[in-house]
Amino acid sequence: MSGAPLAGRVAVVTGGASGIGYALAEGLGQRGAAVLVADLRGAEAAAARLRDAGIAAAGIDADVASESDTAAMVAAAEREFGGLDILVNNAGIYATLTPQPFERLDIAEWRRVLDVNVIGVFLCCRAALPAMRRRGGGRVINISSGVAFKGNPYMAHYVASKGAVVSLTRALATEMGRDKVLVNSVAPGFTLSDGVHRNPALVAGVKEPSLRGRVLARDMVPADLVGAACFFAGPDAAFVTGQTLVVDGGAYYH
């Protein structure tokens, strides 16, 4: 296979300014894709870092829970790079959450988690579909989570949101297949991303149990997800849709 299997493709990565999103944007770019980084803040700075590494990249500030922002994001991809082939729905609320029993969870926080983690995926896919149709097809990679299968305690809203992403992936794969758009999901285990490092309570509560539960007993980092996402984006996954690949060092066999 060529060293640039995604040459000529255009990717949008939401939540791409740091952490898992930046690692995915970089991985797609290293494989030849032009990348639009979308994030609440820091998108253009992240794109500049990618450009410094020789990757065609641009940035746009966008809230995935905003219908107008998601439309502007897709328009920017078409304006900057001529189209859209790959959408990575990575933006989500997790690293700022504090684990606690479900009966103590604030309803406003519940709604914001669902707005970003679930409705954001819907809005991004809805905005992207016409652009992908114009290209004759495309790929959608949704970042879900292994918690959807394990039912982790003290994060009920997050677990529910990621279970919804897995189910939404299947429904969208069924509907979008007629347009030759393949929709798959990558489900990470607990990942030491930039945002997670900034939440000591989260690290303290989740890191050690995660390590104990893994066959590969080491910390998981954003780079561990790049291969799976790029597989779904690339030519080797041309007959794969509606699937969720768990990447967690062997904590859950799916």
Quick one: tokens of 119?
A: 């409705």
Residue 67 phi, psi dihedral angles, 5° rounding: -60, -45
Q: Tell me, what's the pLDDT at 147?
A: 95
The whole-number average pLDDT for the span 35-62 is: 98
Q: Is 136 helix (H, G, I), strand (E, B) or coil?
A: coil
Per-residue pLDDT band at 78 (split at 50, 70, 90):
very high
The whole-number average pLDDT for the span 129-152 is: 97
In a domain? residue 23:
yes
In a domain? residue 200:
yes
* Cα within 13 Å of Cα(94), Cβ side: 29
> For 35-49, 186-200, 221-235, 238-252, which range has the lowest pLDDT when averaged over its residues?
186-200
Predicted structure pTM score: 0.95
In a domain? residue 166:
yes
In a domain? residue 192:
yes
The whole-number average pLDDT for the span 236-240 is: 98
Share of the chain above pLDDT 70, in %: 99
Residue with the larger pLDDT of the pair 197 and 21: 21
- For 93-140, how does the pLDDT look when each residue is reduced to its tens digit (9 = 90+)? 999 999 999 999 999 999 999 999 999 999 999 999 999 999 999 999
Residue 229 and residue 24 in contact, taking contact as beta carbons nearer than 8 Å:
yes
Q: Which of 94, 158, 252, 253 is catalytic?
A: 158
CATH number at 243 reads: 3.40.50.720
Counting the structural domains of the chain, the total is 1
Quick one: tokens of 29?
A: 């770019």
Provide the domain limits for residue 202.
Answer: 10-247
Residue 177 and residue 188 in contact, taking contact as beta carbons nearer than 8 Å:
no
Per-residue pLDDT band at 1 (split at 50, 70, 90):
very low
Q: How far is CA 89 from CA 3, 38, 105, 106, 133, in A?
A: 25, 10, 25, 25, 18
Calculate the CA dihedral of residues 200, 205, 207, 212 and round it to 10 degrees: 160
Rounded CA separation 217/207 (Å):
11
Contacts of residue 213, Cβ cutoff 8 Å, sequence gap at least 6 = 251
Q: Whose CA is closest to 47, among 6, 16, 77, 8? A: 16
Residue 151: pLDDT above 50? yes
In a domain? residue 161:
yes
Q: How far is CA 157 from CA 37, 52, 139, in A?
A: 27, 38, 27
- For 201-237, how does the pLDDT look when each residue is reduced to its tens digit (9 = 90+)? 788 888 888 888 899 989 999 999 999 999 999 999 9
Share of the chain above pLDDT 90, in %: 87
What is the Rg, in whole angstroms, of the alpha carbon atoms belonging to the chain?
A: 17
The question of whether 158 is a catalytic residue gets the answer yes
In a domain? residue 4:
no
In a domain? residue 5:
no
In a domain? residue 3:
no
Per-residue pLDDT band at 2 (split at 50, 70, 90):
low
